[in-house]
A and B are shown apart, each in its own frame.
Chain A
Amino acid sequence: MGPSSRYAALRLAALTKTFGRKMVVDHIDLEVPRGSFFGLVGPNGAGKTTSLSMAVGLLRPDGGRAEIFGLDAWADPARAKKLIGVLPDGLSMPERLTGRELLRFTGLLRGMELKEVERRAGELLEVLELDEAERTLVMEYSTGMRKKIGLATALLHAPRLLVLDEPLEAVDPVSAASIKVILQRFVGSGGSVVFSSHVMALVEQLCDHVAVIASGRVVASGTLEAVRAGRSLEERFVSLVGGQVPEVGELAWLSS
């Protein structure tokens, strides 16, 4: 079933979440065009992870809507979830399986044919250079390997939208390079990617669209060029979120 081409890959409308008294996500509106490589940047605690969790159906919002190719992620989760692949940050996986077992059982749980699962799993493991870790449990994987097997799980059912939370956080440069290539190929073949990061250089290198989130609100959103407004993304980001560079003279005791 092909997602209708009228709709954006992901659309958040007035999405809201409050934890205790703190409004972590404050009526966020966001539109990720189909076929785009979309970067979500913001300081720690800005609400990136919370927004993405609500967008894909992992955290129930207090208000607002999340649509995936026009399908309401909360009212029609079964159809919406078929179209997305998700890689959350810091959550557990079926830790006591090897990478291949994880892919096999995930595919079977999705109702795929065993043969097809095995074929895709083999290819994914090879491309992500995980085939050597055939007999290692996921819980023994390094951070980079965990991200890679997570990405493989997200890609297994050929989704149309990938939602990735900090996919390259703490990943070594070699693994990062192979993940980047796979993501670019995915977008090249018509897929859409949303990923959160606080590494500006990475977002500038990969993305064509970007949104800046601070204190639970979208403070800028659009094509990379429009958001940058002629400056580097980092300069623009710091000016948008109101950070300040420490002045000379502070922490003088460090140089003694």
Chain B
Amino acid sequence: MAVLLIQMKLAVLRHSMTGRRAAQMVTGALTGLALAGGLIVLAGRDYPLASLPFDLLGVGFALWTAGWLLGPTLFGGGDETLRPEHFSLLSFTPRRLAAGLAGAAFVGVAPLVTLVAFSALVVVAVKAGVGAAATAVGVLAVVLQLVVCVLASRLVTAVLGQVMRSKVGAALAALVSAAILAGLHSSWVLSPLVQAALRTGFPAPFSACVVALPSGWGLVAVRAAGQGQWPTVAVALAGLAALGVMCWYGWAALLKRRLTTRRPSGRPVRVASGGWAKGPMTAVAARELRTWSRDLLRFHYLVFALCYALAFCLLPLAIDAPIFLPWTGAVFALWVAAISANLYGEDGTELWCKMMVPGAARHDVRGRQLAWLLVTAPPTLVLTAAMVVFTGEFGLWPWLAALVPALLSGGAGVTVLMSVLRPVPMTDPHRRGGNLLENGTDFAQVLLVLILTAATAAPAYFAVRLGPVWAGPVMGLAGGAAMAWLLGRLAATRLESSAPELLLHLRTGVSPKRRRPAAALDLARPHLPKPDLGLDKLGLDLAPTGRRAYVIASLTLCWVPLVAQGIVPALMLTTGHVTPSWLLALHLPQHLQWPTIIAMIALGLVLLTTGLGIGLYYLARSRRDGIKLDDGP
């Protein structure tokens, strides 16, 4: 049966090797291979201490295994190429099905890449010169380690999939992923420690921890074999084998549960009166607030943002650096924005309800903005106030009073605009299995929203930096309100004009391509098909070549003067941590530094606004012409 399932999986993989999926798969494989190559290089290098390569590999294997265990939870789904449900009506016992699916689980790019990565174990054995027998032990350990990794990943993903059907589980998962991500982002805290360890070796307790983890048992076996301690070799390898069997048993049990139980339905909900919703906009806000409290996914996101903000700002306390604490509220607001910029994608095809109500787009966008602020602003303000009191950093008030309102308003604007412009289609809420993992997070979107929301606070930042003391807070409040209003208006206009396309996108998952207007074709000239750069999607298909090039070049390059040569050196000068690197302003005499920075930022803004302006003009024109053609007689 395993052979049959492997054949099925290979057939599915073959069919899905088209377009974006194939590109993703190849990119994933290349990235994985690069990392695996890194591990092998790490294993083959010379070190001042004999134990160092083993410790380093231990850490590498532990991280790699952690990626297998938690990756599916963080990045969504796990490998569901063959879903057990497809086979539930066939006459297999769950255990037999689990065996078959386990066999198929080893087919794919990820296990192959992992095999390459784990072969670093053999490399380190050869390099250390521990003998042929120990090298053979290494080969066996590589295989066992791969088995444990794949099966444990299945088990952990299944467990989390079950747990995440409840609010407690959703909160727990949010806590874990927030802690990991915040830990990664604060890893600079650890860098002095790591550098010391690379010279003098890792502290003994740390090494002990690394080899105690199952990911380090292969290393234990190889070292013990080199020293002739065969009982230890046997125990380590048997331990790996036993762990693999246990993971498989546990997974089979969960598989049975998954196939034979359904989540309870018809749970009564707490019904709030909602008496304050009396008009169209407040009605939308009230509906959104109910979604925030009743949707497990949104609840999960909210807890994640809170845990991330706390972990990220508290972790540096480990090296006595409380600098981030007053900004906890701001970090929270930023992350709530980042994870709630797919409002229409999450609601799915429900969009049709709004499309049938004349003029609903504007109310819907404004209502969602209001609800977002009602959800985000109170915790943000409380966190900020509490942390300022806790740290006693009252001198920061002009910064906080400027940036916190600016970020909140920017978030309220960017989230709705991004939800309309770049929706990520999801399974409709009533068709979701209740398992949060089925819908992965779109990291490109998260990153984009983080950057854009942070950018909306730039005017407030410069107002504090360059203006009188009252300028920052005024700019934060007034400029922020204007920003939220403007971005909301853009979102509403866009929603109004392209709701049918958005609905089609959410329904089919395929971004609709507008037809190229016939007028753009020049029939007098023989033309070859050009490579599709997605210009019609950008609305640039109608622009003359020169302007098209300017838009693309300015929007690509504006970030260099704006961020890299403008905002970054400005931040360095403000904070006093100056690293000149390639930052032009910092290589100039002091009295020229700020003028250069301002000039760079101005240049960046000019490029950005002109590029955006021309681009949007042609986008509107292309859309108008496209519609005219569509509606033509």
Contact = CB atoms under 8 A, between A and B. Distances in A.
A106 B268 contact: no
B500 interface: yes
A151 B206 CA distance: 65
B280 A140 contact: no
A96 B290 contact: yes
Given A91-B507, A95-B430, A81 B356 contact: yes
A85 B353 CA distance: 10
A104 B283 contact: yes
Nearest to A72: B631
B352 A91 contact: yes
Interface in B199-240: none
Given A108-B283, A109-B284, A109-B360, A101 B266 contact: no
A92 B347 contact: yes
Given A108-B279, A110-B357, A91 B284 contact: no
B393 interface: no
Contacts of B504: 59
A56 interface: yes
Interface stretch (B270-278, B448-456, B539-547, B613-621): B270-278
A110 to B, nearest CB: 5
A3 interface: no
Interface string B251-294: 00000000000000111110100100111101110110011001
A63 B280 contact: no
B356 A135 contact: no
Given A59-B500, A106-B353, A137 B294 contact: yes
Contacts of B430: 92-93, 95, 138-139
B358 interface: yes
A108 B278 contact: yes
Contacts of A82: 358
Contacts of A90: 349
Interface string A73-103: 0110111011011101011111111100100
A91 B430 CA distance: 10
Interface in A135-149: 135-140
B348 interface: yes
Interface string B484-522: 000000000000000011011001000000010000000
Nearest to A100: B271
B103 to A, nearest CB: 32
A109 B363 contact: yes
Nearest to B292: A96
Contacts of B283: 104-105, 108-109
B429 interface: yes
Given A74-B631, A81-B358, A140-B267, A105 B286 contact: yes
Contacts of A137: 269, 294
B40 to A, nearest CB: 45
A85 to B, nearest CB: 8
Nearest to A13: B633
Contacts of A138: 430
Interface of B: 265-269, 271, 274, 277-280, 282-284, 286-287, 290-291, 294-295, 347-350, 352-360, 363-364, 428-430, 500-501, 503-504, 507, 515, 627, 630-633
Given A94-B287, A104-B283, A108-B279, 14 more contacts: A58-B352, A65-B633, A75-B631, A94-B350, A96-B290, A96-B294, A101-B274, A101-B290, A105-B286, A109-B284, A110-B280, A135-B268, A135-B269, A137-B269
Closest 6 CB pairs of A and B: A108-B283, A78-B358, A92-B428, A135-B268, A91-B349, A95-B429
26 contacts: A57-B355, A59-B504, A61-B630, A78-B359, A79-B358, A86-B356, A94-B350, A95-B350, A96-B290, A96-B291, A96-B295, A96-B429, A98-B269, A104-B277, A105-B283, A106-B357, A108-B278, A108-B283, A109-B284, A109-B360, A109-B364, A110-B280, A110-B360, A114-B278, A135-B269, A136-B269
